[in-house]
Amino acid sequence: MANDQAPERSLTKIIPVEAVFFDIDGTLCDSDPLHHIAYQDVLKEIGYNNGVTIDEEFFIKNIAGRSDEDAAKNLFPDWDLEKGLEVIHQKDVRYRVRAAQILEPVKGLYDVIQWVRERGLKRAAVTNAPRINAELMISKLGLSDFFQAVIIGSECEKSKPSPDPYLKALKELNVSPDHTFIFEDSQSGIRAGVAAGIPVIGLATRNPENSLLEAGATFLIKDYSDPKLWSALQELDSAEAKLKEKNA
């Protein structure tokens, strides 16, 4: 079985690697629970769902990984979009208060950051989060000097699951999709990366694994300490070394 699965975990087809892209929410940090609590608070205050608190299944199905516009449409299909977005913005204010206090990185994140740094790869954060949220999270995680570009879905023609944000990241960093890979935790994010022609490693931090695989993830990891990831990165390093040897 292991031999059957190994090709699916391989990233060697993208050598030489030029860049690594990261989503933010749920990928750099386990922020979805903070968003969920903030949504519960604001929705309860307006009497949403007759005051019954939204559960995690509802949050994942209708909100997680989506742009503000898509979340507003899912939550309030009969409302004017601007009215729905105002509720989302209220949620964001509460989220930022919590995130500024207790935001934590996904396990093993800084080991991967170091791996990227040591190889001199280009890197971008690509997110559907509003810029104010994205910059807060990146700063809180101590990564403000790490990312060379921060691409915001709402600042593109279309947000994820459209490939536009990832296509913009490729353009800004002047790299090829054939030599780039992505870390993502949501179905919409994975679909966006795949549509841009870039292989995606899915983080199964919160969202159902089957939905991530159906979206087209190359393989899934539990977090950045997952042995599957480091096996793939080691294989990638070996393939890079052989390529350099061949071209020497």
Q: Evaluate whether 27 touches 184 at the Cβ level (below 8 Å).
A: yes
Question: Which of 60, 10, 23 has the alpha carbon at shortest distance from 196?
Answer: 23
Q: Catalytic: which of 4, 23, 92, 237?
A: 23
d(CA 65, CA 161): 9
Q: Which residue reads 């934590």 in tokens?
A: 104
23 is an active site residue: yes
Q: Evaluate whether 182 touches 92 at the Cβ level (below 8 Å).
A: no
| Start-to-end Cα distance in the chain | 37
d(CA 229, CA 45): 42
Q: Catalytic: which of 4, 25, 32, 145?
A: 25
The 8-class DSSP code of residue 26 comes to T
Q: Which amino acid, one-letter code, is at 40? A: Q
223 is an active site residue: no
Catalytic residues: 23, 25
